[in-house]
A and B are shown apart, each in its own frame.
Chain A
């Protein structure tokens, strides 16, 4: 395959997957601007390995894993921790009941790996095995992360009834 064909193939792939990658990135990061940055970085990484992966059966899976790893790597960096600590030192508005009921906020409050697990399992509809593959961990780890993530969301959002209320708020 010539370079031009390869590039055309990549551009077609990236164009058709940008929207999807962006929504997954948003659920991971909780911020559309950061979602765009994560997606951009993911596309850069995919391009550099495109000759190797373009013949793969599950390119989408590879792209999704690249996105999740990019997100987790950013959250793992010491710099990220500094930023978060600095942010907490600044005066913040006290969260009110509405904010607590907000699913977006509850999701953002999950630790990165739990959030990634929840998003892969319940938005990307991956099985436990597929999620373990994407996160490069054991199925047991996925199960425990999922359970913890759901438990944290449950605590944040209260009863099933409140989840539904929150859902209605999001839909409006």
Chain B
């Protein structure tokens, strides 16, 4: 036997050995593959049929009709569950995630101009943590047009395989230093969805992202919060957010925020900021420290409490000393009395509620 023949025989045997011990969990799902294939076939047929129907209609009524677009499925999994007493909602949720990743969140109230993103991470959040971020553009906004993209410096790149039968493409950055991977696709409700992958290994990433995208569910739902506010009918919320991160392999609250005013009769209510975070004993860092010139200038006052492993701090701006407390706040017992209307539910997500503003 020549050396070449021996090596070829060895190679044939070695390749067989390499696949002798596949992982027990096979992620191939034939039923799901059939469903996706059916959708694609329907879409192709609808594309052809839609054009024919539109042309027929144009001829019949003597109008120039635009060809019907193949729309794909009309809705997603449809999990629209919105509690009107919860200021924070999510637009979309992850379904399947790459091994080791866990769904967390960084959500805010609609219309407040703050980020509304579903996030999945592998490990405690940090600058080098593998992270998937999911963002949905508003209905009717095409981020490839104009300056509507939330990712400046990224442009349309290579075409990607369809996601559940709908168009998808990768984004490319004008900055060669950028190593983030970004996939954008048309979601089930017609909006554009965008998924960013950071700090994730390149091997298999495109496949993982496409698979993750295919299992995303779209539809507004309320995001549970770790506190309730009771008996404040005049509360006018102007910002609210929930940030959930992973800690020790579990979901853990990082920060809940509720910014609001009270509907004072003269419209001069101060701005109140309620922050709820795991108990550390440290004061909130987002505001100027008490006793500083900055806090004095802004009329900042603060009161905090701790219960069930959570710290809640209520900060108000625009109160410049005795005699300047607004009547509405005074009637509630001042800042302390206002904070007494907040009930803390604990750091365990299972105890959180969407029935927030009672």
Which residues of chain A have a CB within 8 Å of any CB of chain B? Answer: 7, 10-11, 14-15, 18-19, 22-23, 26-27, 29-34, 36-41, 43-45, 47-48, 74, 77-80, 82-84, 86-87, 89-90, 103-104, 107, 118-119, 122-123, 125, 150, 153-154, 160, 163-164, 166-167, 170-171
Contact = CB atoms under 8 A, between A and B. Distances in A.
A29 B14 contact: no
B154 to A, nearest CB: 12
Given A32-B22, A160-B3, A44 B36 contact: yes
Interface stretch (B27-35, B87-95, B297-305): B27-35
B78 to A, nearest CB: 23
A47 B37 contact: yes
B18 A104 contact: yes
B203 A43 contact: no
A74 B205 CA distance: 11
A170 B206 contact: no
Interface of B: 3-4, 6-8, 10-19, 22-23, 26-30, 32-34, 36-38, 40-41, 98-99, 157-158, 160-161, 170, 172, 179, 181, 201-208, 210-211
A86 B202 contact: yes
Contacts of B181: 83, 86
A104 B158 CA distance: 30
B203 A34 contact: yes
Contacts of B211: 37, 40
Nearest to B31: A11
B11 A34 contact: no
Contacts of A82: 157, 170, 172
B101 to A, nearest CB: 12
Nearest to A31: B204
Given A44-B37, A48-B41, A160-B6, A170 B17 contact: yes
Overall SS of chain A's interface: helix
Contacts of A45: 37
A105 to B, nearest CB: 11
B29 A78 contact: no
A19 B30 CA distance: 12
Given A79-B160, A170-B17, 7 more contacts: A22-B22, A27-B18, A32-B23, A33-B98, A39-B28, A48-B40, A89-B179
Nearest to A118: B11
Contacts of B29: 40
Contacts of B26: 18-19, 22, 36
A87 B201 contact: yes
Contacts of A77: 158, 206
Overall SS of chain B's interface: helix
Contacts of B201: 87
A154 B11 CA distance: 10
A36 B33 CA distance: 12
8 contacts: A32-B22, A39-B28, A40-B33, A44-B40, A82-B172, A104-B18, A118-B15, A123-B12
B158 A44 contact: no
Given A18-B30, A37-B208, A78-B157, A27 B10 contact: no
A40 B205 CA distance: 16
B207 A10 contact: no
A36 B157 contact: no
Given A23-B22, A33-B27, A40-B27, A87 B12 contact: no
A104 B206 CA distance: 21
Contact of B30 (A26, A30, A34, A43): A43
B19 A33 contact: no
Contacts of A84: 202
Contact of B32 (A40, A87, A150): A40
Contacts of A36: 26-28
Contacts of B161: 41
Contact of B8 (A7, A19, A122): A122
Contacts of B12: 122-123, 125
A87 B11 contact: no
Contact of B22 (A10, A26, A86, A122): A26
| Ranked 9 nearest A-B pairs via Cβ | A87-B202, A47-B37, A37-B207, A36-B27, A23-B19, A34-B204, A43-B33, A83-B202, A86-B179
